[in-house]
Structure 1
Amino acid sequence: MQGFPLPSGLPMVSCIIPTRNRPELVTRAVKSALMQRWEPLEVIVVVDGPDDRTVQALSSIDDDRLRVEVLPESVGGGEARNIGVHLARGEWIGFLDDDDEWLPEKIYAQMRIALDWHTQRVVICPRMYVKSPKGPGRVLPQRDPDRGESISEYLLMRRKLTGETQIQTSSFLTSKALLLEIPWDNTLKKHQDLDLYLKWDAAGVDFIFIPDILSIWYVHQAQRSVSNDNDWQYSVRWAEQNAHLFKGGSLAGFIASQVAMRAFERASLRTVAGVFQALHKHGARYLDYLIALAALGVRVKQRALL
């Protein structure tokens, strides 16, 4: 990448990595963050509860830009990120999930935009390379928001069966000031990232999309966890309670694109009927029904192979 030389007096950027019980992965993530071209930089690893193996693994990294904060008990990923924000010395902050990687030019490319922007109420969103064990990787997002398109419409109202839009935790950069003003909601057991983006959008925050591919997002086979359980009714209740954040037909799009696949994991007729009733209630488009039907087909096929 061609760019300007780095002058002195640049604002510090803080990388915040929440982790627990994944010492090999978080070590890889930390090393990718420390390879950034941008200076000054600090990397804060928030260990979400006692975890001697992770602490020992991180102690092997000899770099005074690395700080490790071990929490006395687990508080969850969202609150761990909030704690990291309060600890950060940087004016600008990027998050990195412990199983993802930053490419060396990430912060440099994003800070070129940040330094030219006239507000700290901005989120800079690059593209990422998505790696999956199911097949070849791909680049997301495949398109940027149209003029006047809200973030909820952009993320949730698909234009084809497969998703082509994305904002991912390990990719965006924003200011500490914004994260203190509108932090992660630590009361949610799911959808914390989407909740944050929709609240930022409702508050008039600028989302700036750039074409650079700046991180690697590792998408793993689904594992049972709080964040990917199939309590689809919780997801629908959360969306309905926050209906003011969903613009246009994006609430139905949320049910089709993010709820249906998990709801149909152990699909009963009652669950299938409930999902399609929720789609109808919220004015689903024809494409939303097709997306939900496609999800049902995938789950039926998976169960047939068991």
Structure 2
Amino acid sequence: MNPEVSVIMLTYNHAPYLKQAIEGVLAQKTNFPFELIICNDNSPDHSDAIISEYAARFPDRIRYFNHKNNIGFVENQRFAFNQAKGKYIAYCEGDDYWTDLEKLQFQHDFLETHSEYVMVTARNLLFHQDEQTMTDDGKNHMFKDQEYIDFTRDSFFVQRPTQTFTYLIRRKCMDLKWIDVYPNYRDLYYFYHVLEFGKGRSFNKVVGVYRLHSGGVFSSLEIENKYRTSIGIFKNIKRVNNDKRADQQIIKTLDELINKYYYEKEFVSPILNGKLYAAILERLSISGNIRTGAGQLLKIIKYTFTR
């Protein structure tokens, strides 16, 4: 019997966290069969021993692939998605974990009864590994005490009330061809293309914990690189699809880069920061908003002499 849901778990050097990740999936209470596909990208730590033990204990539930050579995150992702047999796909990397035992069940039930939706997500907590502290996901302002909020391709460019490891997606809406179209393929690319086929819903309930630590795929990047990565993703979406709606997100992220980073953190004196001037000019070239550009240039003086 084919599984209803395929849970994808990519892992590389996640040995300290794998048990929690795997058990969070295996603990799911469902009235349908699901599979857990674990793809280990030749981790040099003892991940293989941990995963192999679980795979031996749960051969009817876990399909384990340990690559003999490191193939990289993008190719590991492609490989994993190609293994999926389920009608729906869920995702949980080896350093994150689910806490809601009915996460798969309620999301599956929703998609089964709402054909106009192509994906369903939820909220999560953030565990700051280095500080050993837990915080919320910072999305209270989006939900405003509502039970759920819907999102579309249009709102995708304004706000995304989701985290990748909380989603359930209709597999038929995911086209792996986009992996070869976009450089350094990211989840935002397939979110964008999946939403071509319908809406998404995000429920205002916590279903898991996203771990922030120095070894994370994204959290290990420097702050500036995070902003630049986001800008690059939306530039690629705009370029490939000729979709100028991406400018909304590019401008928003440039403002965050300028206001939250370049003014205060990059250099002792912002007036000497060439990257700051380049970011302001880049924003101006996209928005055409001279007033905002002038205001940002004037702030350089403020932040230089008020430290």
Q: TM-score, normalization: structure 2? A: 0.73
Amino acid at match of 1:216: V
Per-residue CA deviation, residues 158-177 of structure 1 (Å, 9 max, x unaligned), is: xxxxxxx5321111110221
State the 1:51 CA deviation.
4.2
Which residue does the alignment assign to 1:105? Answer: 102
Which residue does the alignment assign to 1:170? Answer: 165
Which residue does the alignment assign to 1:197? Answer: 191
Task: Kindly report which structure 2 residues correspond to 1:162-241, keeping only aligned pairs within 5 A, or say none.
Answer: 165-180=160-175, 184=179, 188-189=183-184, 192-201=186-195, 203-220=196-213, 228=221, 230=224, 236=231, 238-241=233-236
Amino acid at match of 2:6: S
Which residue does the alignment assign to 1:69? Answer: 65
State the secondary structure of the residue aligned to 1:242: helix
Rounded Cα–Cα distance in structure 2 between residues aligned with 1:271 and 1:227: 21
**Equivalent of 1:153 in 133, 148, 157:** 157
Rounded Cα–Cα distance in structure 2 between residues aligned with 1:261 and 1:224: 22
State the 1:106 CA deviation.
0.8
How many residue pairs are counted as aligned between the two chains?
A: 273
Per-residue CA deviation, residues 98-135 of structure 1 (Å, 9 max, x unaligned), is: 1111121110110110110226x601111212223385
Q: Which is higher, the Rg of structure 1 or of structure 2?
A: 2
Rounded Cα–Cα distance in structure 1 between residues aligned with 2:4 and 2:150: 32
Rounded Cα–Cα distance in structure 2 between residues aligned with 1:56 and 1:223: 21
Contact 2:173 2:197 in 1 (8 A): no
**Equivalent of 2:82 in 82, 86, 111:** 86
State the 1:88 CA deviation.
1.6
Which residue does the alignment assign to 2:16? Answer: 24
State the 1:79 CA deviation.
2.8
Amino acid at match of 1:270: G
Which residue does the alignment assign to 1:250? Answer: 249
Rounded Cα–Cα distance in structure 2 between residues aligned with 1:180 and 1:101: 26
Instruction: For structure 1, list consecutive stretches of 5 or more residues without a partner in the other structure.
Output: 1-8, 156-164, 298-303
Which residue does the alignment assign to 1:162? Answer: none
State the 1:215 CA deviation.
1.5
Amino acid at match of 2:139: P
Contact 1:130 1:218 in 2 (8 A): yes
Q: TM-score, normalization: structure 1? A: 0.73
Rounded Cα–Cα distance in structure 2 between residues aligned with 1:76 and 1:262: 30
Per-residue CA deviation, residues 154-210 of structure 1 (Å, 9 max, x unaligned), is: 32xxxxxxxxx53211111102212236655685337x1222222333x24321222
